[in-house]
Every structure is written in structure tokens, then in C-alpha cells.
Amino acid sequence: MYIRLMNNIIKNIPSFWPHDWPFNDIVKRLPDTGRLLEIGPYLGKSTATWAQEFQQNGKDWQIHTIDAFEGIKKAWPGMEHLQITEEEHLEKFKSNISGWDNITWEKTRWTPEYKGFREYDVLFYDGLHDYESVNKVLEHYINVECIVVDDYDIQHEGTMQAVDEFYNSLPWPKEIEQINIEDKGIAVIWRK
Ligand SMILES: C[S@@+](CC[C@H](N)C(=O)[O-])C[C@H]1O[C@@H](n2cnc3c(N)ncnc32)[C@H](O)[C@@H]1O
């Protein structure tokens, strides 16, 4: 009953991804404790989904999430309902993740000069999806054990190129998977 209620609350968080986030299989394969960094929560649907999956799988993970929280001034056609002012952005996010005491957040536009903690076990990236943005972030988090990158699909060639180059450059044993759901692809890179 409680799980169904939580799932419905998460489903109703406005998001650029209108379906359920497919994180369950990833979470099942992760250790019982760890730290996840998310870049690009928007209003927190992906953040709350990670938290919910960790809880349902009995795992004790800390989630830190970074967003510019500058609002979405001009969404592309068909997505206008996701436009939001800067004033509303952070407030709505905070309300959507309230109750999860393992989620911390930071209002920052991530750049390569970002000096925050970087020893995470998992990185979930869902910020800008052009080649340069994805490439810079991945380089920064090379030591992360599991990297999950949204929009690894033919509609986002820059993301695919950055992920593939990064993956091929890793000097240690590794594995890459592509989760395909509806018309979306998500890359999951595991350090073996
Ligand atoms: C596609 S939305 C994320 C959707 C979200 N994961 C969800 O479940 O709905 C992209 C988000 O990334 C944020 N963003 C883009 N570039 C960023 C950067 N350099 N630093 C921090 N946040 C960024 C935007 O503010 C926006 O909220």
C-alpha cells in the first residue's frame, strides 16, 4: 500500500521522461551501501526513483544531486508544460523530494571547475546531452564504479559519441550495457 502510494507520487512528478525510470536492475546489482551523484534532477523524478529503488531493495545509499535550478525558460515544442521559472524550480524540487533524508542537493551549474566531492560509487548524468557537456563530466568522474548516462540513443549522437570515447579510453576491465525503453536509450558502464 505504502509502496504503491510512493510510486504514484513519483509518477506524478513532472519530467522530461514521462514513464517510469528503469533503475531497478541497476540497483539490484549494487552493493548494500554507497554514494550516488546525480547531475540534472530537474524536479526530482529520477532522484526520488533512485531513492525508492534503494529503499525497496533494502540498500542504504546516500544520493547527492546537483542542478542549476535556473528554471526551464523555453522547452521544445510539445514540452511547453515543463517550462518553469527559476523561482519555482528549486521550491518544487524540494517539495518533490521531501521525506527522503538520504537525498542532499546543491544549486550549482556544473562545470569542469566544480570542486565538490567526487569519490562516488555511481554517477547518474541527465544534464545537457551535447558532446562537449557529456565528455567533460565523464572525464571528471573517471574513478566512479558505475556510470549511468541518460539519452544514449541515436537521437542524441553527441551523448553516444562522448560515452563511447570515454568507455574505449578506460584502461581497466569494464562492461557497457544499453537499456532500451520506449524510444530512449540509457548507457550503463560498469567497472569490473
Ligand atoms: C532533462 S532535465 C533532467 C530530468 C530529470 N532527470 C527527471 O527525472 O525529470 C535536465 C536538467 O539538467 C539541469 N542541468 C543542465 N545542465 C546542467 C549543469 N551544467 N549543471 C547542473 N544542472 C544542469 C537542468 O537545469 C535540468 O533541470
For ligand 1, the distance from its centroid to the CA atom of residue 175, given in whole angstroms, is 26
Query: How many whole angstroms separate alpha carbon 191 and alpha carbon 182?
Result: 27
pLDDT reported for residue 118: 87
Q: Kindly list the averaged pLDDT for each block of 10 residues, start to end, along the chain of length 192.
A: 75 95 98 98 98 98 98 91 96 97 97 93 98 97 96 98 98 97 96 94
* Minimum CA distance residue for ligand 1 atom 14: 127
Question: Identity (one letter) of the amino acid at 155?
Answer: Q
Domain range spanning residue 44?
2-191
Do 104 and 144 touch, CB atoms closer than 8 A?
A: no
pLDDT reported for residue 184: 96
- CATH label of the domain that carries residue 6: 3.40.50.150
The radius of gyration of the chain from alpha carbons, rounded to an integer in Å, stands at 16
Q: Provide the whole-model pTM.
A: 0.97
* Minimum CA distance residue for ligand 1 atom 26: 42
Total number of domains in the chain: 1
